Structures are given as C-alpha cells and as structure tokens.
Amino acid sequence: MKMIKISMLALTLGLMSFSAIEPVKAIVSKVAIAASSIVWKSESIDVGQIPQNTPKPIVFEFKNTGKKAVIITNVQGSCGCTATDYTKTPIAPGKSGTVTTTYNAAYPGGFTKTVSVTTNAETTVKVLTIKGTVVAATGVKS
C-alpha cells in the first residue's frame, strides 16, 4: 500500500511539472514579439483599381524602434509579376526604411501578392501583402 502511495505521488508531481512548462513557453513567445525592433506602417496595402499594363509601385514603410541598426538581407516577391527594391543601407535606431514592390498589371482581374522580407532584427520572415483589381484597358483613342 505504501508503494502505491509513493507511485501516485511521483506520478502527480511528474504531471504537474508538464503543466508548468507551457506557460513558460507562452511568456517567452510574448517577450520575443514585444522585442521586435521593426514597426511597419502597414503590412497589407489595397491599391484599389489600377489600369491594365500600367506598373504600380507600392511602398511599405517601417521604423527601427530597437537599439541596433536594422539591415534588410533579402526581399522576395511571390511571383515574377512583382519587382522589388528596398533600403540597402543599415537603418539606425529611430530611423525609417522602405520596401518597394512594383506590380506588373498585365492581366485584368483581382490579385493578391506577397513580398517576403528578411532582416537581421527578426528571426522570422515578414510577409507583406498587396492586393487590388486590374481594370482592362478600353478602346483605342484616335
């Protein structure tokens, strides 16, 4: 009987240790999110209607709110229809930078495209979104 009580006590303590692990992970995750040093003005931009065959530049702005310079290491559009450019120099604390994507509005209809941004300030890739509708060109002017 004494052996059963000891086994039950060990099992109970073991289960209690698992329940303590999850809140620690949640706290660490919240601290990591709060520590991000890049604040984007907008992570998704709706450009509305744009005319067919007219490339549309879209500028995403961000501010470095951290204590170290931010360097953009890679910017990649989700398809060949989005050309990208970005601030190439280190962005000092308190300063701002940009990521520009130019959408090639070749085909009429709605679109949603993404741009993935990698920096030295965040461990995960930031995904920015552009969307809108390409309106078909009408008639030929004489």
pLDDT tens column, 76-114: 999 989 999 999 999 999 999 999 999 999 999 999 999
**Partners of 24 in beta bridges:** none
Q: At a CB cut-off of 8 Å and minimum separation 6, what does 18 contact?
A: none
8 A C-beta contact, residue 100 and residue 60: yes
Structure tokens, 26: 């949640």
Asked if the model's pLDDT at residue 135 lies above 50, the reply is yes
The residue behind tokens 């809108």 is: 132
Rounded CA-CA distance 133/112 in Å is 9
Q: At a CB cut-off of 8 Å and minimum separation 6, what does 93 contact?
A: 37, 64, 65, 66, 67, 68, 69
User: Considering the chain, what is the average pLDDT of its residues?
Assistant: 82
Asked if the model's pLDDT at residue 48 lies above 90, the reply is yes
Rounded CA-CA distance 106/117 in Å is 24
Average pLDDT over residues 117-141: 87
More confident residue, 52 or 35: 52
Structure tokens, 133: 């509708």
More confident residue, 52 or 2: 52
Neighbours of 41 (CB within 10 A): 12
Whole-model pTM? 0.71
